Amino acid sequence: MAERPSWIEIDLQALAHNHRQLQQLAGPERRVIASIKANAYGHGVLEIARTLEACGAFALWTGHVPEALALRAAGIRAPIILFGGYLPQDLPDLLRHDLVPTIYDHRGLAEAAACEQSAAPVVVKVDSGLGRLGVKLAEAGPLIRSIARTDGVRLAGIYTHLPFRDRSGMAWAAASAAKFEDLLAELRREGIAPEITQLWGSSGLIAGLADGTNAVCIGHLLYGLLPLEAALARPLDLLPVCAGIKSRLIHIGRHAPGADLAIAGRYRSSGASIVGVLPLGLGDGMPALPAGTALAALVRGARAPVIGVSLEHMILDLTAVPAPAIGDEVALVGRSGEAGITLAECAGTLARTPLELLMGFSGRLAVRTACSVEARSPPFGVRAAETVGP
Ligand SMILES: *Cc1c(COP(=O)(O)O)cnc(C)c1O
């Protein structure tokens, strides 16, 4: 009762399928660490983490401490690694909660070493050129050697992050990756070879870039999202984990033909004679309609144009819907009868990427599980193979 009748549907079978595909692509000698940051890319971190744990994911990786703590409280036992997202003085507390923190400077090392554990596991992040979080490549060797010599901590991993979208980004990532691998080789010669070394996320893995590390950390692809130009992706059969963005009609207004409808004065005489109202507005993370946008939702298998979005409501033109009724399910994304709207289609109409659209709803809409393997989208690589050739 307390729940607003608007929700995101996630397909956990699709998640398990994607995990299997990615493990196969990574190869038996490489571990797949699942990135569940940002509420599992908006899919609802708890159900996603439970499924990944059941799939045998080697570890879960997030930069959101409250979400990581919630997973521990919910009984998730899989190793959880933290990308960051905390102050140095919080490190002992994170270790106490069985989380493996990333450190990237001497201050972090000192704080981690001061915790009461005898060999607290930590991972080190190297900034190989992205210019975001991490110890700079040139300073990484000395920091990592200090960690290896420090009694209170155990060096569990070394990683970097080089995401890219297009061909020039790929060339940059490949060149930067080579420098990171040189560092790993140099450390290995000194006997520093931690359990986890990781370089590629989704873009490097699906583009098939060379990799001498023993793990990949995958987010986008796990959820069926493609973070780079399709032409750079190798063929891979992945399914969308977000199977729907849905709501229910809470009101139907029947207006006589010619009625002077003027919703907020903006949609004057839309011509609609039947309008429907959904509890799905800006406050739920629904984007405002860009000017001139023709967005539609599905009701009883028919397309209902979206007339407007306000703080708490969305208004639909139900004229083309056969016998609409209060309580009818409405799909902004997902299946309705014979019809369907994909996440990519809806996001594209709203001038957003699928992930940006999901992030708007994240933590605001309820998450429900659905198991509809019927909604199979074609493999990513089909178009890539056609344009790139053999
Ligand atoms: C988010 C993240 C990943 C996963 O990236 P995807 O493109 O979503 O696969 C990997 N490594 C690091 C360090 C990250 O922050």
Distance CA 224, CA 233 (A): 13
The preferred substitution site among 43, 83, 130 for testing ligand 1, maximizing ligand atoms within 8 Å of CB, is 83
- Residue 2's pLDDT band (boundaries 50, 70, 90)? confident
Tell me the mean pLDDT in the region 147-174.
97
Structure-token match 């298998």, residue found? 301
Kindly give the distance from the C-alpha atom of residue 83 to the centroid of ligand 1, in angstroms, as a whole number: 9
The preferred substitution site among 61, 102, 221, 356 for testing ligand 1, maximizing ligand atoms within 8 Å of CB, is 61
* Whether residue 145 has pLDDT greater than 60: yes
Higher pLDDT, 118 or 344: 344
Angle between helices 137-149 and 106-113 (to 10 degrees): 20
* Whether residue 269 has pLDDT greater than 70: no
The confidence score (pLDDT) of residue 273 equals: 81
The confidence score (pLDDT) of residue 315 equals: 94
- Nearest residue to 368 (alpha-carbon basis) of 12, 2, 1: 12
Low-confidence winner among 172-186, 270-284, 364-378 (lowest mean pLDDT): 364-378
pTM, to two decimals: 0.92
The confidence score (pLDDT) of residue 272 equals: 66
Distance CA 96, CA 307 (A): 52
The confidence score (pLDDT) of residue 371 equals: 62
- Nearest residue to 201 (alpha-carbon basis) of 172, 166, 159, 235: 159
* Digit-coded pLDDT (tens) for 206-237: 999 999 999 999 999 999 999 999 999 999 99
* Whether residue 243 has pLDDT greater than 50: yes
Distance CA 352, CA 205 (A): 24
Angle (nearest 5°) at CA 186 between 185 and 189: 85
Backbone angles phi, psi at 222, to 5 degrees: -60, -35
Low-confidence winner among 47-61, 178-192, 359-373 (lowest mean pLDDT): 359-373
* Digit-coded pLDDT (tens) for 9-32: 999 999 999 999 999 999 999 999
Spatial contact of 220 and 343, defined as CB atoms under 8 Å apart: no
**For the chain, what is the radius of gyration of the CA atoms?**
24
The confidence score (pLDDT) of residue 137 equals: 96
Q: Supply the residue whose CA is at minimum distance from atom 12 of ligand 1.
A: 161
The confidence score (pLDDT) of residue 173 equals: 97
**Ligand 1: residues within 6 Å at CB?**
35, 37, 83, 161, 163, 201-203, 217-220, 227
Write 228-231 long-range contacts (CB < 8 A, 24+).
228/164, 228/165, 228/166, 228/169, 228/170, 228/202, 228/203, 229/165, 229/166, 229/167, 230/380, 230/381, 230/383, 230/384, 231/383, 231/384, 231/387, 231/388
Mean pLDDT, all residues of the chain: 91
The confidence score (pLDDT) of residue 128 equals: 94
- Residue 255's pLDDT band (boundaries 50, 70, 90)? confident
* Whether residue 265 has pLDDT greater than 80: no
Q: Supply the residue whose CA is at minimum distance from atom 8 of ligand 1.
A: 219
DSSP annotation of 287 reads P
Distance CA 237, CA 18 (A): 8
Kindly give the distance from the C-alpha atom of residue 377 to the centroid of ligand 1, in angstroms, as a whole number: 24
Distance CA 332, CA 2 (A): 22
Distance CA 191, CA 189 (A): 5
Ligand 1 atom with minimal separation from the 218 CA: 9
The confidence score (pLDDT) of residue 380 equals: 39
The preferred substitution site among 64, 104, 161 for testing ligand 1, maximizing ligand atoms within 8 Å of CB, is 161
Ligand 1 atom with minimal separation from the 35 CA: 4
Overall size of the chain counted in residues: 390
